[in-house]
């Protein structure tokens, strides 16, 4: 079974940068927004954009749910990739909303909730021990609690997105450095299983999360 992980943070908080130390040859990246990676010389480190001229690239640009689900399953079955990353996940919802902005009624919001629910289950059901990381922006609820940014209150009522995940990690800053918060408080939705991390905070590095998951669950 797959292992979905949610990484939350404001824009510029280090979500995409945290990929820098991963082995790109074992990572498939899906970008909802076509943008450059925020670390030096990504192509020389193995982050190669997929295109008609280079169909074997490991970086795909798409915000289409069906294509992302197909890609997650295909990448996991290939045996080439230990992890799949969906960057700027919240734009899947916001782009879908903008395409359907003129539709009247609440049906579109229910459809958006179903689409994300299907995406989560694609990550959960993918082959092997593949880790699937969803990187997304944050928002505050009416009580000032940090949560994943979504589209509309109806979506939050239909499905509490963080509730789907066993791992919700927050991006923060301490002494001028980006960090991951791996244990939650009453002011956020962050959580990881008991004993996975000794500290409440770790450096902003997805490889450290990878190492912890592999050791904790004895993944291959």
- Dist CA 189 CA 184 (whole Å): 6
Measured in Å, how far apart are the chain's first and last C-alpha atoms? 12
CB-neighbour burial class of residue 113 (10 A; exposed 0-12, middle 13-18, buried 19+): buried
- Each residue's pLDDT, cut to its tens digit, for the chain (220 residues) gives 899 999 999 998 999 999 999 999 999 999 999 999 999 999 999 999 998 888 889 999 999 999 999 999 999 999 999 999 999 999 998 998 888 888 887 788 888 888 988 999 999 999 889 999 999 999 988 888 898 998 867 667 767 788 889 999 999 999 989 999 999 888 999 999 999 999 999 999 999 999 999 999 998 7
Closest by CA position to 135, among listed 185, 202, 204: 204
**21 three-class SS:** coil
The pLDDT value recorded for residue 66 is: 96
The pLDDT value recorded for residue 110 is: 82
Closest by CA position to 133, among listed 2, 42, 4, 33: 4
- Dist CA 21 CA 204 (whole Å): 10
- Dist CA 19 CA 6 (whole Å): 14
Closest by CA position to 9, among listed 104, 138, 110, 129: 138
Q: Are 159 and 171 in contact (CB under 8 A)?
A: no
Q: What is the DSSP letter of 51?
A: B
Pairing relationship of beta strands 3-8 and 168-174 according to DSSP bridges: parallel
The pLDDT value recorded for residue 54 is: 87
The pLDDT value recorded for residue 201 is: 96
Report which secondary-structure segment, H or E, holds 45: none
Which residues, other chains included, contact 97 with Cβ-Cβ below 8 Å and sequence gap of 6+? 108, 112, 151, 152
**In sequence order, what DSSP letters do the residues of 189-208 get, joined into one string?**
--B--TTS-SSSEEES-HHH
Q: Are 87 and 134 in contact (CB under 8 A)?
A: no
Q: What is the DSSP letter of 17?
A: G
Is the pTM here over 0.85, yes or no? yes
The pLDDT value recorded for residue 143 is: 83
The pLDDT value recorded for residue 154 is: 66
């Amino acid at each position: 079974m797959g292992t979905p992980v949610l990484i939350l943070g404001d824009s510029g908080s280090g979500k995409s940068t945290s990929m820098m130390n991963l082995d790109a040859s074992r990572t498939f990246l899906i970008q909802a927004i076509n943008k450059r990676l925020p670390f030096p010389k990504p192509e020389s480190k193995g982050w190669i954009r997929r295109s008609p001229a280079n169909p074997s690239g490991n970086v795909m640009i798409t915000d289409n749910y069906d294509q992302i689900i197909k890609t997650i399953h295909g990448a996991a079955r290939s045996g080439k990739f230990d992890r799949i990353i969906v960057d700027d996940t919240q734009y899947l919802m916001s782009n879908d909303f903008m395409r359907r902005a003129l539709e009247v009624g609440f049906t579109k919001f229910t459809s958006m909730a179903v689409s994300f629910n299907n995406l989560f289950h694609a990550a959960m059901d993918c082959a092997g021990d593949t880790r699937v990381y969803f990187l997304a922006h944050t928002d505050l609820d009416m009580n000032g609690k940090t949560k994943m940014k979504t589209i509309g209150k109806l979506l939050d009522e239909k499905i509490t997105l963080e509730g789907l995940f066993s791992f919700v990690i927050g991006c923060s800053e301490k002494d001028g450095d980006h960090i991951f918060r791996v244990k939650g408080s009453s002011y956020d939705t962050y959580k990881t299983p008991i004993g996975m991390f000794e500290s409440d905070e770790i450096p902003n590095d997805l490889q450290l999360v990878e190492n912890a998951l592999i050791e904790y669950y004895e993944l291959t």
